[in-house]
Amino acid sequence: MAAPQSAGKIPRSSLPTGAVGTAPPRRMRFVGAPPHRRDCFTVSHATVARRSAPAAEAGERDGGALLRGLRALAWLVGRLPWGALRPLGWLLGALAFDVLRIRRAHVLASMRRAGLEPDRHARASYVSLGVGVFELLWLTGRPDAPLAPVVRVDGWERFEQARALGRGVVVATAHTGNWDLAACACAARTPLAVVTKRLSTRGLDAFWQAARARRGLELIAAPDGGVLAAIRAQLARPSHDGAIALLIDQDPERTRAVTAAPFLGEIALHDLLPATLAARRGAPIVLAFARREADGRHVVEIVDVLVPPRGANRAWIVEATRTIAARLDAFVRREPSQWMWLHRRWKTRPEAQGETLPDAQP
């Protein structure tokens, strides 16, 4: 097993500073809950919906031991310099890849099918995820530390131009780099809502949601599965002038409103939701993908902006969705270690949904 490469030295003056420790736990509520049970407050310049007190307290009771352990670990990791996170992440990633072999066969097969070299990229993808775990802990252990010194955005002016149209922005993004860190950094620049899932482990879910909410992210999730209704309500708000981010690289949970398109050497189903929201709202779609550089810093690349024409129809929605898939395909091929290959992206077979299958070559 090769030794981890140096994380690179970042000048001490450029590192985030701030009180080391964990902010007091806040009780969270997600957008999409009944209006009479909402308890909203402002974090930074974004509004974060909070859970009612009884629900939050019940969640902490159910996963209390795990949650307290994660907070303690975050406090410890928060005392470390940023450059120390990569060696720790390398150890965690190597453990997952070489010892525990978590979905290793799936990852290797997926890379081969995409025409990539697993020997070069597979372990590195696990290391990237391992580093991301420690970065999230650090993020929580230093809740007031600025992220600008370790995250930059390439092409931010394109986002500002899209936002200037005044119709909101739909951000299509993916599990690349440290997507949570990137979202938190962007939330410091502009109001940003993120469509999120709930984790089945309550303590882990509470920790994850709170870490992002403290950074100003507005979390859109509905316990009853009514995420679409929550998104529509968010877009309909007269004060909504920010962006809604949706992950576009997972196997769709629904079987309707999807299309088949090539992705990394295989046909996959792609959810039409981002393009549909853009078409109905007239909002531009900003494609933004994150990656980690060799020195441990992060870059968010705005790779494209799609503006729906007036009266955009289903044909445009399908074409835009396939364009988004192609842009992500190209990004992952350029940065194969930065995507989360563990996900079973091709789990649902398009032919089972009666989809017309295009050529599998991107």
- What is the residue-wise DSSP string for 76-92? HHHTS-GGGHHHHHHHH
Burial degree of 226 (CB within 10 A; 0-12, 13-18, 19+): middle
The rounded distance, in Å, linking the Cα atoms of 211 and 179 is 13
Binned at pLDDT 50, 70 and 90, residue 223 comes out as: low
Binned at pLDDT 50, 70 and 90, residue 242 comes out as: confident
Question: Which has more confidence, 209 or 221?
Answer: 209
- pLDDT for residue 196: 87
Query: Mean per-residue pLDDT for 223-228?
Result: 60
Full-model pTM: 0.81
Instruction: Give the length of the chain.
Output: 362
Binned at pLDDT 50, 70 and 90, residue 21 comes out as: very low
- pLDDT for residue 231: 74
Q: Which of 23-32, 217-226, 252-261 has the lowest mean pLDDT?
A: 23-32
The rounded distance, in Å, linking the Cα atoms of 16 and 92 is 24
- pLDDT for residue 29: 39
- pLDDT for residue 330: 98
pLDDT tens digit sequence for 116-164? 999 999 999 999 999 999 999 999 999 999 999 999 999 999 999 999 9
Contacts of residue 328, defined as CB under 8 A and 6 or more positions apart, other chains included, come to 174, 248, 249, 263, 287, 289
pLDDT tens digit sequence for 313-356? 999 999 999 999 999 999 999 999 999 999 999 999 886 555 55
Q: Where are the domains of the chain?
A: 26-353
Query: Mean per-residue pLDDT for 66-86?
Result: 96
- The rounded mean pLDDT for the chain is 82
What is the side-by-side strand order in the sheet with 169-173? 151-154, 298-306, 285-292, 169-173, 243-247, 192-195, 218-220
Tell me: pLDDT of 284 over 90: yes
Tell me: pLDDT of 3 over 60: no
Query: Mean per-residue pLDDT for 103-110?
Result: 98
Contact 27, 37 (CB under 8 A): no
Tell me: pLDDT of 33 over 60: no
As a dihedral over the C-alpha atoms of residue 186, residue 189, residue 195, residue 197, rounded to 10 degrees, the angle is 50
- pLDDT for residue 70: 96
- pLDDT for residue 28: 41
Other CB atoms within 10 A of residue 346 CB = 18
- pLDDT for residue 288: 98
pLDDT tens digit sequence for 350-361? 865 555 555 544
Contact 300, 288 (CB under 8 A): yes
3-class DSSP state of 44:
coil
